Structure 1
Amino acid sequence: MLPPKLQDSGIFTIPCTIGELEVGKALIDLGDSINLMPLSMFKRIKGLELKPTRMTLQLADKSLKYPYGVAEDVIVKVDKFLFLVDFFIMEMEENEDAPLILGRPFMKMVGIVIDVENDKLKVRVQDEEVNFDVFQAMSHPKYDKACFQVDIVDELCMMQRARVHDISSLERTLIDEHEDLNEEEEKSIEGCVRDLESSKEIPTE
């Protein structure tokens, strides 16, 4: 016996508040590895501090975006619960229905359980929980053509940049000029570089 076909539940959102600002709904997105807040909303919330960040974010279309900074330990109220959340601040369009995007770190912290079959979303803290009805919370979503996924891609890039920054100008020149060398040739050049750098300066007089 085949199970009946069911309609799409749409996106999953939860109502939340930050300080005195009624945010409305926040999008719960399993595709995001971070939490995102539009720059326009950040400017409306009093008392938030913007810290610099070197993060580079890769969106679903593979484009790279650079956030303005990160707001740490933002108090987010969901029903009767309070959570400390770190938000990356991006200059992006503020969606009317769900201006905030809460990713996997938030979902793990608050113990979110999504019941897709029954269109329910549960927030659980220790022995207490709050349930949300997906259809009632978001009956007419405006994310129908959007594709969400944000990943942090800069950690390896920053490590590589640091390595390139630390090497000498001679080594950098040799590496740049011989990108297609085989492993044996690379080792030979690296040995020459070490010998040159360890040798004493030849007097000019």
Structure 2
Amino acid sequence: ANLPYPSRLAKEKLREKDDILAAKFMEIFRYLHFELSFADALVHMPKFAPMFKKLLNNKDKLVELIKTPLNENCSALVLKKLPENLGDPGRFLIPCDVLEFDNCLALADLGASINLMPLSIWKKLLPTLNDTKMVLELADRTISKPTGAAKNVFVKVGKFYFPADFVVLDFVADPRVPLIL
């Protein structure tokens, strides 16, 4: 019988053998018992003895270092004078302008690394798209193939213009919030 990958079988046998040896070692190690004081351990570790000696001789200084004066940030936490939690705002909308769409809102999805635009909006803006081989897994675990990609679309947020790349997807968007940035 010819095996397609004989080296893989040999590696698996070695791995099994190593696992058995490791289990035996752990079994022996569990039953070991040492009676060794801290002082005896220091005697057997001459490299670390000076460091431990300095630590033990300067323990009063260490206690002084532990006492840290509180600044305004720490004292707010200790005295429980933190601002009241206002809760989840629900969604984060950015007022923006995209080409011919003035005063539209975009959903700022801070976890996404792509910008989405519905195909219906894109058809109103520009007729051509770049092809893409991208496949997206959406939040509801469905797989979707985008219609195309749009490069360097200028989005005005406030008084600033930002170039953004959009993935154009055929989906029904909320007319009030057509974009996901």
CA distance in 2, matches of 1:23, 1:99: 11
Whether 2:144 is the aligned partner of 1:65: answer yes
The counterpart of 1:80, out of the listed 152, 159, 167, is 159
The answer as to whether partners of 1:25 and 1:99 remain within 8 angstroms in 2 is yes
CA distance in 1, matches of 2:100, 2:147: 23
* Residue aligning to 2:112: 32
CA distance in 1, matches of 2:127, 2:162: 15
CA distance in 1, matches of 2:115, 2:106: 10
Q: For the pair shown, which has the larger CA radius of gyration, 1 or 2?
A: 2
1:153-191 per-position Cα deviation (integer Å, ceiling 9, x unaligned): xxxxxxxxxxxxxxxxxxxxxxxxxxxxxxxxxxxxxxx
* Residue aligning to 1:11: 91
* Residue aligning to 1:44: 124
Give the CA deviation at 1:9: 1.2
* Residue aligning to 2:100: 20
1:83-113 per-position Cα deviation (integer Å, ceiling 9, x unaligned): 11110000111212211001xxxxxxxxxxx
CA distance in 1, matches of 2:173, 2:105: 12
Greater relative contact order (Cα < 8 A, sep 6+):
1
Equivalent residue letter for 2:99: G
Equivalent residue letter for 1:55: M
CA distance in 1, matches of 2:178, 2:106: 6
CA distance in 1, matches of 2:133, 2:176: 30
SS in 2 for 1:40: helix
Equivalent residue letter for 1:82: Y
* Residue aligning to 2:49: none
1:21-47 per-position Cα deviation (integer Å, ceiling 9, x unaligned): 2251000002212100000000111x4
Give the CA deviation at 1:13: 1.1
Identity %: 45
SS in 2 for 1:44: helix
SS in 2 for 1:42: helix
The answer as to whether partners of 1:23 and 1:99 remain within 8 angstroms in 2 is no
CA distance in 2, matches of 1:52, 1:6: 44
CA distance in 1, matches of 2:99, 2:178: 15
SS in 1 for 2:171: coil
Pick the structure with more helix per residue: 2
The counterpart of 1:93, out of the listed 172, 176, 181, is 172
Give the CA deviation at 1:48: 5.5
CA distance in 1, matches of 2:139, 2:101: 29
How many residues end up aligned between the 2 structures? 101
CA distance in 2, matches of 1:16, 1:101: 11
CA distance in 2, matches of 1:36, 1:23: 18
Pick the structure with more strand per residue: 1
